[in-house]
């Protein structure tokens, strides 16, 4: 698995990365790498702080090209950096995201990698358009088609759709390139309905130590009050690894996501993309319980 995240501001990105660390340590997933897709120069340092605290300091990190410009709000990243050990300090300390993507994909068996996209589409569009390099003689489209099993994206409100949501709004041009660019593997869209009732994390302040990474983020965002937002990325991660399969339902097979007249995403029920689906939650209670268990683990 490779996780592509706009980690900086939102609770659900932090939870997905914390959960992925626990699952990696338990041997339930193999986390090849994490890449950031917003220009926060410190985001990789904060992710490294989380990884290091969970005992996974060796997980490769990549930063979106241009991250050194540091134009995206830092959110909770500075708090994590100030309180937890880390060896990465700045986006310049890690490879650019596309170089890391290409190196990681080239080293894996064919059709073996899942990309979990829980942020902007910037890296996905650039990977699709990338050219052969020292890592692989294949261009981006060929490399994806050869090495990636499927892409799991958090975005949309399917089937009816609506205006563009945050992940699309961050980089509309890149979103258009991915959605309309005939991505060469199946895509599963874990849409916005999956997060509305996924209200999790309140137990952290009672059950986790003060230097627990997820508690630090929760306190920074919600001051140990009830969660102030839903959680979209944690369900996306669990769906992507087939965790609690009965918790999710796959819908819309034979259709595809399209950009609608409002500039957001809708589901076209008939398309040439026979293996794409959108994903809804079938058992909210089981989902929330599983996420809570993973969040407080250390």
For the chain, what are the domain ranges? 2-296
pLDDT of res. 243 = 87
pLDDT of res. 71 = 98
Fold of 2-296: Inosine-uridine Nucleoside N-ribohydrolase; Chain A (3.90.245)
Positions in the chain short of pLDDT 70: none
CA distance 220 to 214: 10
The pairing of strands 148-154 and 187-190 is parallel
* CA-closest candidate to residue 50, choices 41, 37, 59: 59
CA distance 132 to 189: 28
pLDDT of res. 259 = 97
pLDDT of res. 248 = 97
Per the CB < 8 A criterion, the answer to whether 6 and 39 are in contact is no
Sequence length of the chain is 298
pLDDT of res. 11 = 97
> Residues 137-166: pLDDT tens digits?
999 999 999 999 999 999 999 999 999 999
pLDDT of res. 244 = 83
Per the CB < 8 A criterion, the answer to whether 178 and 144 are in contact is no
Q: 241: helix, coil or strand?
A: coil
Question: What would you measure as the largest C-alpha separation in the chain, in angstroms?
Answer: 52
């Amino acid at each position: 698995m490779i996780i592509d995240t706009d980690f900086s501001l939102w609770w659900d990105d932090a939870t997905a990365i914390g959960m992925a660390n626990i699952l990696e340590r338990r041997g339930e997933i193999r986390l090849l790498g994490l890449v950031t897709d917003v220009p926060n120069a410190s985001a990789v340092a904060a992710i490294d702080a989380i990884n290091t605290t969970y005992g996974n300091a060796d997980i490769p990190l990549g930063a979106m090209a241009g991250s050194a410009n540091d134009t995206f709000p830092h959110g909770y990243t500075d708090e994590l950096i100030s309180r937890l050990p880390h060896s990465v300090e700045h986006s310049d300390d890690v490879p650019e995201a596309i170089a890391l993507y290409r190196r990681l994909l080239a080293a894996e068996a064919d059709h073996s990698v899942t990309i979990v996209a829980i942020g902007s589409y910037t890296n996905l569009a650039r990977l699709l358009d990338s050219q052969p390099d020292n890592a692989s003689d294949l261009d981006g489209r060929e490399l994806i088609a050869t090495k990636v099993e499927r892409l799991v994206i958090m975005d949309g409100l399917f089937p009816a759709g609506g205006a563009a949501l945050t992940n699309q709004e961050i980089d509309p041009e890149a979103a258009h390139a991915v959605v309309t660019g005939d991505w060469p593997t199946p895509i599963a869209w874990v849409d916005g309905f999956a997060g509305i009732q996924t209200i999790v994390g309140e137990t952290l302040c009672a059950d986790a130590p003060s230097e627990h990474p997820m508690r630090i983020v929760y306190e920074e965002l919600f001051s140990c009050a009830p969660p102030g937002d839903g959680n979209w990325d944690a369900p996306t991660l669990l769906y992507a690894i087939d965790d609690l399969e009965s918790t999710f339902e796959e819908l819309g097979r034979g259709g595809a996501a399209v950009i609608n007249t409002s500039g957001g995403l809708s589901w076209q029920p008939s398309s040439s993309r026979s293996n794409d689906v959108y994903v809804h939650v079938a058992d909210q209670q089981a989902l929330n319980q599983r996420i809570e268990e993973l969040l407080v683990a250390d």
